[in-house]
Amino acid sequence: KLRIAVFASGNGSNFQALVDAVRHEKLDVSIELLVCDKPAARVVERAAEAGVDTFLFKPKDYPSREAYETEILAELVRRDVQLVVLAGYMRIITPVLVEAYEGRMINIHPSLLPAFPGVNAIRQALDHGVKVTGVSVHFVDGGLDSGPIIAQRAVEIADGDTESSLAERIHAVEQALLPHVVQLIAHGRVAVEGRHVRVG
């Protein structure tokens, strides 16, 4: 089974979707580790409930991003992690992790990239007045939400949508798409050729 680690900073609904998919035998991976930068985050409780080990760290305890990422990398290597899934991990990733996991690290983002990268993508889409936004899952490269796109789903914006009503629909789409994409990777069905990702 593919050995994965999930990085998350907050609620962890995407982490939970992966845990549930494994539990219901819809996802053939082994979740080896949660990596979290926020000790009070709900996702930490979710990992404890699911029996998943957690690597918790406080960025302020380290002199640099590279310093904590070097520790994270050692933990990933020690556990023989083969795929890293960023699921609401709200920190910039440096070359320490990007280069070690090139082609083996994915991120879920709540917009149709390359529209609305970075933080507050749902708010950005509403403020921009677009009629369609969505969800993207992509490989992580050195840029901000810029790597090769594996899968996307559209979500329509209705008149009168608020940030919370739209977020609710986007999150529901994310929780279906992320386990689906991880399963494709686990089954060896995802190939990258430059910017283009082919699903066979």
| Shortest distance in whole angstroms from residue 1 CB to ligand GAR | 22
Closer residue to ligand GAR in complex, CB, 80/86? 86
Helix (H), strand (E) counts: the chain: 6, 9
Closer residue to ligand GAR in complex, CB, 81/87? 87
Q: Buried (b) or exposed (e) across 118-128, using 16+ Cβ within 10 A?
A: eeebbebbbee
| Shortest distance in whole angstroms from residue 78 CB to ligand GAR | 25
The answer to whether 129 is a known ligand-binding residue is no
Length of the chain (residues): 200
Q: Which of 24, 109, 187, 196 is catalytic?
A: 109
134: nearest Cα among 151, 115, 111: 111
The answer to whether 14 is a known ligand-binding residue is yes
Which residues share a beta bridge with 85?
6, 106
Binding site for ligand GAR (CB under 6 A): 8, 10-14, 87-88, 108-110, 121, 171, 174
| Shortest distance in whole angstroms from residue 17 CB to ligand GAR | 8
* Dihedral sign for Cα atoms in the order 189, 138, 83, 27: negative
The answer to whether 146 is a known ligand-binding residue is no
The answer to whether 92 is a known ligand-binding residue is yes
Residues ≥6 apart with Cβ < 8 Å to 54: 33, 34, 35, 36, 44, 47, 48
The answer to whether 136 is a known ligand-binding residue is no
Residues ≥6 apart with Cβ < 8 Å to 74: none
Closer residue to ligand GAR in complex, CB, 8/21? 8
Closer residue to ligand GAR in complex, CB, 87/186? 87
Output the six-digit token pair for 22: 């494994």
109 given a catalytic annotation:
yes
| Shortest distance in whole angstroms from residue 51 CB to ligand GAR | 19
Residue nearest ligand GAR by beta-carbon distance: 88
- Binding-site residues, in ranges, read 12-14, 65, 90-93, 107
Q: Which residues are annotated as a binding site for (6R)-10-formyltetrahydrofolate?
A: 65, 90-93, 107
Q: What residues act catalytically?
A: 109
